[in-house]
Amino acid sequence: MDSFNKVPPHGLLRNWLGIEVVQQLLAYAQSNKHLFRESKVVGGLDRTRRFSQRLELGNFKSEIETRVQGALPEIFARLRAKPFIPTFELELVAHGDGAFFARHIDTLMHRRRVISAVYYFFSLPKAFSGGVLRLHSMAATGQEGTYVDIPPDYNTLVFFPSTFPHEVLPVKSPSGAFLDSRFAINIWIYESADNASP
């Protein structure tokens, strides 16, 4: 198989933040439910391409960034990426019933994004299905063997190169309750402008 059809490199860190932090994140999401806004794509709001709700991380931002910083040596090693001085962008996203994100790449408007990561958490017992992250080869033909499906496992961080196409398959959450959503923290790791090649 040629390089354009190979599944992208990726890695998982399980039990990444711990149950106590998950409970704090769920409480934060619930108490700020009224502040969530519909997620956008390049060009603005488009429910045919992305359907979910997003929120800034508030006081959790620095803690999550510190945890990512600590995991970077392993992330670089697993992706065989050359280490660099990072900066971060984060968002909290709730995927309720019918939510999805069509195939896209994370570098379309943000060329210094190098690594994309997603941290999954949700209420237990799990009350949704679907919401699988599908990572495509660079060619993104959709043919068998050119993509990998990664389930949104509880308290797990998934990471991969930002240049590879990916999508979130539809979520089913029959109750429609906000806390029954598939929650995720999207993390983009940028190469600092001072460190980037011209």
The predicted structure's pLDDT at residue 197: 45
Whether the Cβ atoms of residue 88 and residue 190 lie closer than 8 Å to each other: yes
12 within a domain of the structure (yes/no): yes
CATH of the domain at 156: 2.60.120.620
Range of the structural domain that residue 153 is part of: 3-191
Whether the Cβ atoms of residue 94 and residue 171 lie closer than 8 Å to each other: no
Of 33-37, 125-129, 171-175, 190-194, the poorest mean pLDDT is in 190-194
Q: Is the peptide bond before 125 cis (omega within 30 degrees of 0)?
A: yes
Residue pLDDT, tens place only, 130-156 = 999 999 999 999 999 999 999 999 999
161 within a domain of the structure (yes/no): yes
45 within a domain of the structure (yes/no): yes
Q: How many domains does the chain have?
A: 1
127 within a domain of the structure (yes/no): yes
Question: Starting at the edge strand that comes first in sequence, how are the strands of the sheet with 182-191 ordered?
Answer: 11-14, 156-161, 113-121, 182-191, 86-95, 53-55, 37-38
196 within a domain of the structure (yes/no): no
The predicted structure's pLDDT at residue 42: 86
56 within a domain of the structure (yes/no): yes
68 within a domain of the structure (yes/no): yes
Neighbours of 169 (CB within 10 A): 16
The predicted structure's pLDDT at residue 111: 76
